[in-house]
A = this chain, B = another copy of it.
Amino acid sequence: MIKPALPKGTRDFAPEAVRKRRYLFQTIQQCFEAFGFEPIETPAMENLSTLLGKYGEEGDKLIFRILNNGDILPLAQRARDSRELANLLAEKALRYDLTIPFARFVVMNQHQLVFPFRRYQIQPVWRADRPQKGRYREFYQCDADIVGSRSLFNEVELIGLYQEVFSRLQLRVRIRINHRKWLLALAETCGNAAWLTPITTAIDKIDKVGVEQVESELREKGFPTEAITLIRGYLELPNTPAEAFPAVLQLLRHHPAATDAVQDVEFILKHLSQNEPERATVQIDFTLARGLDYYTGTILEVNSEEVAMGSLGGGGRYDNLTGLFGLPDVPGVGISFGVDRIFDVMESLHRFPATTHRSTQMLWLRIDDMLMPQILEYVRQFRNQGISTEVYPDAAKIDKQLKYADRKGIPFAILLGSREYAAQVIGLKDLRHGTQEQVPLSQVMQVIRQKLQEPER
């Protein structure tokens, strides 16, 4: 006998969790659709060659490979090390993110797609990360991208999308914006464009380790003192637009890339809606780096204003994502929602609406089998009216049937025995309040509807 268990880092979702997650996905999806984004889906399995080399050396190690079926022993005997063996035995792997499969999709469907192409995608991804609190090996990503356009109005749209989603979810967030060209100008002003990656990598950790650690990492990597002083100056720049723009231009000695970035961010901030004070604030943050190499323009990150937690989303502009698959010059910009973290924030703040708790609304008790044909007809009518309805299937004591309703949180139990049927009434038990009344059969639908609309006490 096998004692059943789940693989490390994976989760089952019970009904209430599924309903809450669905509420989250649907809210995001409705916003995506309102903004004219279209859904695509890609398979869970990709060719290993599609994924390898796209996520850095660390990423490659975290890809879940799928063992080839069939005669694998001869291949295994040729391998000289575990890495070679893994590549010999697996030609497919599980999706690691949604961005690379999306780039592959765009390249394979380039002649059918209408550009600028606005797509969204809500699907799980898999990573062989060490599981820990809030980090799973299977989790959903939720991405919106616009590809085939360099217009900054796309950034404006995507920030508006963030604002709309978090406003509908009733979560207070702060959106931070930065520009890769400021970081590039910083690297060049430090003396070397090739320093962009080590500088970005170091700054990327600032939220976790603080500015001192960032500096010592750079020192260890051999950065000269003047460069480190400049980087420190950069990290301490003010963040209100009025101060930030002149200060960054002065620090970076009016480097052309820095000037470009100022124009971009100025344009974006100018076009954001100013009319609704409850919308999330957008704030320049020069310390925002975002690790991914492919970003080339604006970068974004969203944080909760209410709960201390990692980012709830992020994104940015990239110039050449599809170039990896042979289609150059397709610029794009995209954002992602961290749905597992958003879920945790909603849960800790009790922001899920009461409707996500509710399943069945009405249970018909099984008391007189002679009446079951009639009961089944009533049940069909309620269901057709959109009221989720069950009949208790077993011939059990009424107490047991009522306990079932109670444990499932079903608000109403209906009793139709021969006496009630003769009088053309039903017994209606309101399990929330412990009350019972008789209702004429002809009015049951109306009474139930009314009661369902009353706020739950």
Whether A4 sits at the interface, judged by CB under 8 Å, is: yes
Tell whether A418 is near chain B: CB-to-CB under 8 Å.
Answer: no
**Chain B residue nearest to A383 in the complex (CB):** B34
In A345-391, which residues have CB < 8 Å from any B CB?
Answer: 359-360, 366, 372-373, 376-377, 380, 383-384, 386-391
A372, B270: Cα distance in complex, Å: 11
Confirm or deny: A180 has a beta carbon within 8 angstroms of a beta carbon on chain B.
no
Question: Cβ of A89 and Cβ of B67 under 8 Å apart?
Answer: yes
Tell which of A147-155, A199-207, A306-314, A422-430 binds the partner.
A147-155
Measured in the bound complex, the distance between the Cα atoms of B118 and A311 in whole Å is: 37
**A214 → chain B, closest Cβ, in Å?**
31
A132 at the interface (CB under 8 A from B): no
Q: Determine whether A107 belongs to the interface, using a CB cutoff of 8 Å to chain B.
A: yes
> Given A12-B108, A14-B112, A164-B383, are A70 and B44 also a contact pair (CB < 8 Å)?
no
Q: What are the residues of chain B within 8 A of A7 when measuring CB–CB?
A: 43, 45-47, 91-92
Question: Would you give the 0/1 interface string for A143-168, flagging 1 where the beta carbon is closer than 8 Å to chain B?
Answer: 00010011101101100100010000
Instruction: Answer yes or no: A194 CB below 8 A from chain B CBs.
Output: no
A221 close to B (CB within 8 Å): no
Asked if A278 is at the interface (CB within 8 A of a chain B CB), the reply is no
Identify which of B12, B22, B107, B383 contacts A105 (C-beta below 8 A).
B12
Q: In the complex, what residues of B have CB within 8 A of residue A229's CB?
A: none
Q: Which residues of B contact A372 (CB under 8 A)?
A: 153, 271
Tell me the nearest residue of chain B to A105, going by C-beta: B12
User: Whole-angstrom distance between the alpha carbons of A1 and B383 in the complex?
Assistant: 56
Residue among B40, B325, B388 making CB contact with A34, cutoff 8 Å: B388
Name the B residues within 8 Å of A376 (CB-CB).
Answer: 156, 160, 271, 273
Q: Is the CB of A12 within 8 A of B40?
A: yes
Taking the complex as formed, is A15 at the interface, i.e. its CB lies under 8 A from any CB of chain B?
Answer: yes
**Chain A facing B: main interface SS:** mixed
Cβ of A236 within 8 Å of any chain B Cβ, yes or no, is no
Q: Is A50 an interface residue (CB 8 A)?
A: yes
Q: A81-B73, A153-B393 are in contact. Are A40 and B15 (CB under 8 A)?
A: yes
Cα A177 to Cα B271 with chains together (Å): 63
The chain B residue sitting closest to A113, CB to CB, is B14
Contact B94 A82 (CB under 8 A): no
Chain B residues with CB under 8 Å of A393's CB are: 116, 146, 149, 151, 153-154, 157
CA of A5 to CA of B42 in the docked complex: distance in angstroms?
Answer: 12
What's the Cα separation between A41 and B17 when bound, in Å? 9
The smallest beta-carbon distance between A27 and chain B, in angstroms, is 13
| A108 surroundings in chain B (CB, below 8 A) | 4-6, 12
Copies of this chain in its oligomeric complex: 2
Interface residues of A in 43-93 (CB under 8 A from B): 43-47, 49-50, 61-62, 64-67, 69-73, 76, 79, 81-82, 85-86, 89-92
A227 at the interface (CB under 8 A from B): no
Q: For A35, A76, A92, which residue has the most chain B Cβ atoms within 10 angstroms? A: A76
Q: How many residues of A contact B (CB 8 A)?
A: 108
Contact of A390 among B35, B47, B359 (CB under 8 A): B35
B residues near A395, Cβ cutoff 8 Å: 151
B67 touches A90 (CB 8 A): yes
Q: How far is the CB of A94 from chain B (nearest CB, A)?
A: 7
Asked if A407 is an interface residue, CB under 8 A from chain B, the answer is yes
Judged by a CB distance under 8 angstroms, whether A394 is at the interface is yes
A124 to chain B, nearest CB (A): 7
- Output the least CB separation between A401 and chain B (Å): 11
A391 to nearest B CB, angstroms?
6
Residue A242 interfacial (CB < 8 Å): no
Given contacts A273-B376, A376-B271, A380-B273, contact A86 B72 (CB under 8 A): yes
Sample 11 A-B pairs with CB under 8 A, ordered by A number.
A4-B108, A10-B44, A18-B38, A34-B386, A36-B359, A36-B388, A44-B44, A64-B67, A73-B82, A73-B85, A156-B376
> Closest 10 CB pairs between A and B?
A10-B43, A15-B38, A36-B390, A151-B393, A36-B360, A34-B383, A18-B39, A13-B41, A65-B67, A4-B104
